[in-house]
A and B are shown apart, each in its own frame.
Chain A
Amino acid sequence: MTDKKIGSFLQKLKEKASQQEHYGGEAETTAAGMSARSCPQCGAGRAQHDGLTRCSYCGFEFIETTLTDGLYIKKEDNSQ
C-alpha cells in the first residue's frame, strides 16, 4: 500500500466514522437539576422525617416497594 493509498484510506475511514449514526442514538448531555415531587392527590409536600414512600397527609403511595439500604437511601426512609 503506497502512502497515497493509505492516506486516502484513512480519510475515507474518518469521513465514514463521523457520518455514521451511533447505534443507540446520540448521547444526551444534561445539566444538573433540582425538583421536588408533591402529592398529586392533596398537593402536600414530602418531608424526610415522614418517610419517602407514602404521603403523610392523605396516604398516597409514592413508592410501592419497601426501601432497603442503599448508598443514600436507608430502611429508615420507609413511611410508618
Chain B
Amino acid sequence: MFGLFNNKKEEPASPGLTTLLQETQERWFTFLGKLETRMEELGTAALPELREALAADTDPYKRTFLKMQSGVNGQFENIRQKAYDTYDQQVNGLYDQLSNEIPVLHPAHNQLMDFRNSCSDRYHQQFDSKYHYWRDQIQATSRRDLETEYRQILDEFEQVKNQFTCSQCGAPIAIQKIFFISTYLPCPSCQTQNSFEPGSQARQLQFIARDLAEQRTAHLHTAYEKENALEREYYHEAHTLKLSTIHEHDKKILAQKEAEMAAIEARRQESIRRTPELYRQYLRAMYDELNLILPDLKDHHEKMYQNQMNGQ
C-alpha cells in the first residue's frame, strides 16, 4: 500500500496517503462539529424547561424533575458515546492500520502522528470541554433554593410553636426550638411526657443543613480553590522559564531568568503556605453556619470539624 517499502532511498509520503489522512481528518472535524451543534441546541432548549420543572415539582424530593434531568443527561451521554465510538473506529482504526505499514523512521510517519494528534486534540480538548460545559449546566439546574426552604421551615415553626396543648391536662406547651425528630416534651403543669412529632417540612432541616451552610460559605471555598490552583500555575511558569534557559548562553539573560524563577518560586511557596490556612478558614466558617442552623448537633459538628482538621 502506498509503495512505501519499494525504494531503499527515503521518499516523501505519497499523495494517496496525504489525501486519505486529510479527508479523514476533515470528516472527523465536521462530524464533531455536528455533534457540538446538537449538544448546543439540546442544551439551550433543555435548560429553561428543566428550571421550570424544578419550580413546578411539588414532590419534596423533586423526583419528577430528577427524572427529566436524567432523560436529558441520557441524550448527552448518547452523543458522547457516538463521538467515542466513531473516534475508535475511524481515527484510531485508521491510525492502527497505517502504523503497522509505515515504519517509525519513515518521514510519512510524522504525517501520521500529526493526523492522530490533531484529531485527538480536537476531540479530547475541544469537544470534551464543550461536553463538560453542558453537563455542568444541566447539573446546575438541580440547585435548590435552600434559603427559601429554610425560611419556610422557620416560618412554619413560628406559626405552630404556641399551638400545642398537653393531651392529659390541656395546659399549653410552648415548643422552644425547632425539632427535626420526634421528641418527648414534659408538660410544665402535670409533667406528663408528650410526644412531639415535627411536620415533614421541619424534618427536612437536617438534610438541607449541610448544603445550606456550604452555599453560604461558597465564597470562602472558591478562594481556597483559587489559591490551591495557583501553586501549579507558578510551577508551570517557572518550568517554562527553566526550559527556555537550556540553549541560552548570554549570562545577562540567564541571570535575569534565574531571578524571575526565584521570584516565582517564592510566590509558589507562599501559595503552599496559604492554601491550608484558607481551607481551615472555610471549614470553620462552614461549621459555624451549620451550628447556627442545627444548634442541637453542635457537639457532633465539632467532632466532625476536629476529624477533618486532624486528617489534613
Interface residues of A, Cβ cutoff 8 Å to B: 1, 3, 6-7, 9-10, 13-14, 16-18, 20, 22, 26-38, 45-49, 52, 71-73, 77
Contact = CB atoms under 8 A, between A and B. Distances in A.
Contacts of B184: 48, 52, 72-73, 77
B190 interface: yes
A37 to B, nearest CB: 7
Which of B38, B156, B200, B297 lies at the interface centre, i.e. has the most chain A CB atoms within 10 A of its CB? B200
Q: What are the 4 closest A-B residue pairs judged by CB atoms, nearest first?
A: A36-B167, A47-B191, A17-B67, A34-B164
Contact of A34 (B38, B46, B49, B167): B167
Contacts of B179: 72
B168 A29 contact: no
Question: Interface range on chain B: under 10, 10 to 19, 20 to 34, or 35 or more?
Answer: 35 or more
B3 interface: no
A54 B184 CA distance: 15
A15 B184 CA distance: 44
Contact of B60 (A3, A29, A47, A71): A29
Interface string B143-182: 0000000000000100010001111100001000001010
B192 A36 contact: yes
A72 B196 CA distance: 12
B49 A14 contact: yes
Contacts of A10: 45-46, 49, 72
B11 interface: no
B296 interface: yes
B183 interface: yes
Contacts of B168: 36, 38, 45
A3 B64 CA distance: 24
Given A36-B166, A37-B193, A52-B184, 7 more contacts: A14-B68, A30-B200, A34-B166, A34-B196, A36-B168, A47-B192, A72-B183
